[in-house]
Amino acid sequence: MESTKNRLIDVRESMETEEWKNIKIYMHTYADGVGYTLIGTKLSDNLVYSYDLEAEEFRPLSELRSLITK
């Protein structure tokens, strides 16, 4: 099975530089392991997006933030 990091690298490599900027993969360390997040700014709307591996789509960070319970 392909690792999360490698899957995100594949997605990052497929992103068009004419459509995206500031494309980065961030590593998060947790008590029980490591996680990765792909982030990029879409030039057409200047919003920051995160890639959802399960849904295989980009979602605006503002949308994801509203899903977090306070």
Kindly tell me the burial class for residue 48, based on how many C-beta atoms sit within 10 Å of its own C-beta (0-12, 13-18, 19 or more).
Answer: middle
- The pLDDT of residue 54: 93
Q: Write the pLDDT tens digit of every residue in 9-68.
A: 999 999 999 999 999 999 999 999 999 999 999 999 999 999 999 999 999 998 766 665
pLDDT of residue 2: 74
Tell me how far apart the alpha carbons of residues 31 and 25 are, in angstroms, rounded to a whole number.
20
Residue 15 DSSP one-character state: S
Are the C-beta atoms of 5 and 37 separated by less than 8 Å? no
pLDDT score for 66 = 63
**Residue 69: its pLDDT value, please?**
53
Each domain of the chain, given as residue ranges in start order, spans: 4-67
> pLDDT tens digits, residue range 30-41?
999 999 999 999
Which string of DSSP letters, residue by residue, matches 16-54? -TTTEEEEEEEEEEETTEEEEEEEEEETTTTEEEEEETT
